[in-house]
Structure 1
Amino acid sequence: MATLSFNPTKFRDQKASIPYKPISNFTSFSQPTKISCTSTPHNLSTSPLKTSSKCSKRHRFQLINSVSESSISSPVEEAETIEEDDKVEDDPTAEMSFLDPGTEPENITEWELDFCSRPILDIRGKKIWELVVCDDSLSLQYTKYFPNNVINSVTLKNAIVAICDDLGVPLPEKIRFFRSQLQTIITKACKELGIKPIPSKRCLSLLLWLEERYETIYTRHPGFQKGAKPLMVLDNPFPMELPENLFGERWAFVQLPFSAVREEVSTLEKKFAFGASLDLDLLGIDIDEEILIPGLAVASSRAKPLAAWMNGLEVCSIEADTARASLLLSVGLSTRYIYATYKKTPVTTQETEAWEAAKKACGGLHFLAIQEDLDSDDCVGFWLLLDLPPPPV
């Protein structure tokens, strides 16, 4: 049974050393710009993906100890303060400025940022904009509303500086953001402050927080407009041909027990030169140890250079497109590559659909492994991926 709670839950530290278990023979590359299948895959009746487990998602970000500007400006007696804090926490119009007291400020070097309109109208009947900032561990959380007539790079730059002043944290080294429409504003503000802007959909903490805020804050705001569509829809561009430097030689669908996936994540920095993990404790991903997590293994005689190129791409997810008999690799902000192709038959379609179904049964959790040989237990690069739907705002 697999469940995704997205709560800061701690797992037991269990060691696991289990090699990748191939579940297909999609292994041949025929052209330098496509990963092609020329061999026959195993029938899923003899090598099935486990897709029967159900998965539910509940996003619960505990916004405790949040402080609004109004609570700072109006000192009251202790009993009244406690009562007021409870009201602020429940007040959907309140802004928050929070830094975990147990966190060293200088250790927060990367932020995730969204600066966009919300389905909320102000007293002028105009959509309110909101700045939402956090780090990947949610040790830093900040929100602030803005009228729509002050949205520019100067406002954003000043707000970034204000966050640092309010919370006593240094300017971050990097800021990730996921909306292509705001790339110009965010990039300009960041560069003027000497911050590296990173367009990337690997803003998982931010995306989940926005979903939580929609359910618990925006829908309760007095200006909420039910049915309002997001002003900025996320891009889903037509996939492009894979660049030659990202080409591998063989590939296969693989699967790992969740316990082994956690072990790979825990040893990522020691064991692999390249890759990216997810904070499974923060996300509170609660999956049975034996549940098999689907992945894609890519082998190449130039595995290290291949992994190095992949490492700079902000790898987001892998998606099966059975209509086009291909696997699509999403990287960065709005780039999709045709990462793998195969000969379309009823058998290959069935196996690819099963791989995608297994990914959905695990709440979108999957992985990409780059190896020198598919039969090896060692990886040169390992990326843990989570395929999330776009936020409702």
Structure 2
Amino acid sequence: MATLSFNAARFRAPPLQSLRHNLNFASYVKPTSFLSKNLPRKHLLQKFRLDSISESSVSTQNGPEIEEEEDREEQAQGEDYDDPTFELSYLDPETDPESITEWELDFCSRPILDIRGKKVWELVVCDDSLSLQYTKYFPNNVINSVTLKDAIESVSEELGLPLPEKVRFFRSQMQTIITKACKELGIKPIPSKRCLSLLLWLEERYESVYTRHPGFQKGSKPLLALDNPFPMELPENLFGEKWAFVQLPYSAVREEISSMKTRYVFGASLDLDLLGIEIDDKTLIPGLAVASSRAKPLAAWMNGLEVCAVEADTSKASLILSVGISTRYTYATYKKTPVTTSEAEAWESAKKSCGGLHFLAIQEDLDSDDCVGFWLLLDLPPSPV
């Protein structure tokens, strides 16, 4: 079975030698002095292997007959999990159910036709560590908030999980149904593209499950495509005073993420082990630093936006901030010259070379060694489903 991994290749980002400008581009931010704290390795990539669910430790004290029986059961389970029509209901036995307070959810059609020639719909639920994995197919004539509400309750009952406090989802077209179902259950719905575990799992399922399904329709386009709307004007409370293209070694980025829980810093991290991104510690990760005399209030406002990506739009000489599901802001502008265009292109190139990994940092001053807000971001290609 394929393992769900973002990219096993070793990325190397080109150094950003020219990102310096005397007008709207501030000078480089000094490498931040980060607290060092090592997090335990969870080896979460193993959880993407659907056949790993049937693995178990068999004691030799059970005797050969019991071992043979368990082997047969495991083989039968393995055959089920290899069946593309199989519906998954799994909770990591080593995970405390009470600790899973946030789910990631997708409820959408798949490139699969049923016996009526209609598209099959599917509910996919997980948490950010994939300790929770649940899938269920539905015919297209029962798609509504009541069906989804009942299905969410079924996930909780089948796996002995409490209902989550929050549910993240990334399709704007399903916002009404998902919001209504969640609110009836007392769950806070959060429209957000920071559903990276879910998006990566869907990408893996497309290759290992949907394309092998007997009803798969090759070339079928997603019914509910993701939005990419025209950027809006940035709200006044999100304005910074200065900004700069910056870079940090990958080792420093990891240490910053590790230390976020021990310091009072706004922001959001990513589980780099889960994503399976392999980058050399010395590789420079591109980022955007924003300075403001009201840095803490600015970071607090940003913290409620579900920040997902920053993009340099060289055609319009601007930076685009993407938040939530489909909200895009013109975050900053600069004077368009051959030099600034080259700088912006180099920054985007570095981001792509790092597999889309980049960051946003908010500081009181661009020469400060500390951040009051730090968001690790990842640009992913659109979901194939």
Instruction: Establish whether TM, by shorter chain, passes 0.5.
Output: yes
1:24 to 15, 19, 23: 19
Matched residue, 1:86: 78
Output the amino acid matched with 2:369: D
Q: Which residue of 2 aligns with 1:6?
A: 6
CA contact (8 A) 1:325 1:343 kept: yes
Which residue is equivalent to 2:149?
157
**Cα distance in 2, alignment partners of residues 333 and 59 from structure 1:** 29
Change over 3 Å in CA distance of 1:79–1:277 after alignment to 2: closer
Matched, 1:214 2:209: no
Q: Secondary structure at the match of 2:50?
A: coil
Q: Please, which of 120, 123, 137 is the counterpart of residue 128 of structure 1?
A: 120
Cα distance per residue 1:110-168 (max 9 Å; x no partner): 00000000000011111000000000000000000000000000000000000000000
The aligned runs of 1:216-365 (5 Å cut-off) are: 216-365=208-357
CA–CA distance in structure 2, aligned partners of residues 164 and 214 of structure 1: 25
Question: Aligned AA for 2:331?
Answer: Y
| Native 8 Å contact 1:23 1:255 kept in 2 | no
- 1:64 paired with 2:51, answer yes
- The separation in 1 between residues aligned to 2:144 and 2:312, in whole angstroms, is 38
Q: How many angstroms apart in 1 are the aligned matches of 2:186 and 2:26?
A: 52
CA distance in 2, matches of 1:242, 1:365: 23
Decide whether the 8 Å contact of 2:265 with 2:371 is kept in 1.
no
What is the Cα-based RMSD across aligned positions, in Å?
A: 2.2
Paired with 2:296 and 2:382, the residues of 1 have a C-alpha distance of 32
The alpha carbon displacement at 1:281 in A equals 1.2
Instruction: Please give the per-residue CA displacement for 1:79-102, whole angstroms capped at 9, x wherever unaligned.
Output: 442221111121101000000011
Q: For residues 242 and 147 of structure 1, do their structure 2 counterparts lie closer, same or farther at Cα, with a shift above 3 Å needed?
A: same
Shift of 1:23: 6.1
Residues 250 and 281 in structure 2, CA contact (< 8 A), matched pair in contact too: yes
Q: 1:100 aligns with which of 77, 86, 92?
A: 92
Per the alignment, do residues 256 and 209 of structure 1 end up closer, same or farther by CA in structure 2, a change over 3 Å counting?
same
Is the 8 Å Cα contact of residues 26 and 243 (structure 2) preserved in structure 1? no
| Residue 134 of structure 2 corresponds to residue 142 of structure 1 | yes
Alpha-carbon shift at residue 285 of structure 1 (Å): 1.4
SS at match of 2:151: helix
Q: Go from structure 1 to structure 2 and tell me whether the alpha carbon gap of 1:353 and 1:7 turns closer, same or farther (over 3 Å shift).
A: closer
Identify the match of residue 364 of structure 2 among 367, 372, 375.
Answer: 372
TM-score normalised to structure 2 length: 0.86
Partner amino acid, structure 2, of 1:137: S
Superposed displacement of residue 269, structure 1 = 1.9
Secondary structure at 1:170 match in 2 = coil
Cα distance in 2 for partners of 1:97, 1:313 equals 31
Secondary structure of the structure 1 residue equivalent to 2:227: coil
User: Partner letter of residue 6 of structure 1?
Assistant: F
Give the 3-state SS of the residue equivalent to 1:255 in structure 2.
strand
Residue 247 of structure 2 contacts residue 285 of structure 2 at CA under 8 Å; is this kept in 1?
Answer: yes
Where 1:267 maps in the other structure, the secondary structure is helix
Shift in alpha-carbon separation, 1:22–1:267, aligned structure 2, 3 A = farther
* Whole-angstrom CA distance in 2 between matches of 1:41 and 1:264: 21
> Which residue of the partner structure matches residue 58 of structure 2?
none
Percent identity over the alignment is: 76
C-alpha distance in structure 1 between counterparts of 2:21 and 2:182, whole Å? 43
Distance of aligned partners of 1:5 and 1:289 in 2 relative to their CA distance in 1, 3 Å threshold: farther
Shift in alpha-carbon separation, 1:27–1:92, aligned structure 2, 3 A: farther
For 1:59 and 1:152, the matched residues in 2 are separated by 34
User: Following the alignment from structure 1 to structure 2, what is the Cα–Cα distance between the partners of residues 182 and 62?
Assistant: 28
Shift in Å, 1:60? 8.9
Q: Which amino acid aligns with 1:109?
A: T
Q: 2:229 touches 2:328 (CA, 8 Å); kept in 1?
A: yes
Contact 1:130 1:143 in 2 (8 A): yes
Contact persistence 2:26–2:244 (CA under 8 A): no
Q: Which 10-residue stretch deviates more, 272-281 or 142-151?
A: 272-281
- How big is each residue's C-alpha offset from its partner over 1:41-96, in whole Å with a ceiling of 9 and x where there is no partner? 89xxxxxxxxxxxxxxx9992123558xxxxxxxx964442221111121101000
> Separation in 1 of the partners of 2:263 and 2:372?
8
Deviation at 1:271, TM superposition (A): 2.3
**After the TM superposition, which of the residue ranges 84-93 and 153-162 deviates more from structure 2?**
84-93
Post-superposition Cα deviations, 1:7-42, rounded to whole Å, max 9, x if no partner, equal 89xxxxxxxxxxxx99634576xxxxxxxx2x6889
Deviation of 1:234 (Å)? 0.2
AA partner of residue 245 (structure 1): N
Distance of 2:5 and 2:353 partners within structure 1: 14
The match for 1:31 is none
TM-score, scaled to structure 1:
0.84
